[in-house]
Amino acid sequence: MRPPAGKPFGGPLAGQYGDGMSALGFDRCCAEIVAQTDLLRDHVRGADMRGPVPSCPGWNLGQLLRHLGEAHRWAETVVRTRAGEEVSDARVNDLAGYLDEDGVELDGWLAEGAARLADTLRQAGPDLPVWSPGPDETVLFWARRMTHETVVHRADAALAAGAEFAVAPEVAVDALDEWMHFGTSPEAFGTGAGQPELLGPGRTLHLHATDTAPELVAEWLVDLTGAAPAWRRGHERAAAAARGPVADLLLFVYRRPAASIEVLGDADLLDVWRRRTGFWLE
């Protein structure tokens, strides 16, 4: 879920929702992989596969769809083979040979891959141990990660094809929870050459979805004042804030166009956090 260089998940990732649980639940994630893929297929039907994808510089639309379909197949292989060690993702990112894709062929190929992944996940069950690029080495990791991989790339495809992007609030909220957990990884806040400092006194962030039902608690406080980032749901004052519809908040943290976001306070800190927390996109 990134421009064409590097791996899709980088290095070790921090824990998922709580002890690895997605707020959506395993069955919903499996269903969403297929549902989100179907929506994406609708967005791009009849579109020029050679058209650029503005939010993924260097890729055309056919390459974006090829990347997503190969990601589904990569995850399916990990789960089906009960992999205990890293499985190569070379096919996910080696897209140089896919400059002139056939949209009709890709449509069926995407549908097949999503359905096969969902079936394999369901057959394995959420708690089965398998290799993952994060500490939560279970099938649940893959169900959740592939759900949100598909959601954000659907947004990329919609942008490229001139289609409208919308997502169920509870799906967007879970995707933002996942992002927050990724941001607790040492790669996101550790010091290193050329890396802007993230942690420090008074450094707090607040994300506030303005269009969700109160019971979703679609607000996040990110505390960067300690030895490592911490986050929690809730409404609190912070040094910097981003407000807007929940779908736009999701696109905002993923560094996609999000015109309806209002930024208040320390915009530079917010930008540093987005860059550092998104290490795994690069």
Pairing between β-strand 240-244 and β-strand 230-233 as defined by DSSP bridges: unpaired
Strand partners, 219: 208
How is the beta sheet containing 204-209 ordered, strand by strand? Answer: 230-233, 219-223, 204-209, 240-244, 262-265
CATH 3.30.1050.10 residue ranges of the chain are 173-281
CA distance 101 to 103: 6
According to the model, what pLDDT value does residue 279 have? Answer: 87
Q: Which residue has the tokens 């083979």?
A: 81
**DSSP-derived secondary structure letter, 85:** S
Q: With a cut of 60, say whether residue 95 has pLDDT above it.
A: yes
Give the dihedral sign, CA 135/154/272/94: positive
Q: What is the pTM of this model?
A: 0.91
Q: Which CATH superfamily is domain 173-281 in?
A: SCP2 sterol-binding domain (3.30.1050.10)
Strand partners, 212: none
pLDDT in tens, 231-274: 999 999 999 999 999 999 999 999 999 989 999 999 999 999 99
One CATH from 3.30.470.20, 3.40.50.620, 1.20.120.450, 1.10.3720.10 for 26-165: 1.20.120.450
Q: Please list the alpha-helical segments (H only) found in 83-231.
A: 90-93, 103-124, 139-161, 169-182, 186-189
pLDDT in tens, 42-86: 999 999 999 999 999 999 999 999 999 999 999 999 999 999 999
Query: How far is CA 40 from each of CA 60, 69, 146, 197, rounded to the nearest angstrom?
Result: 15, 11, 14, 37
CATH 1.20.120.450 residue ranges of the chain are 26-165
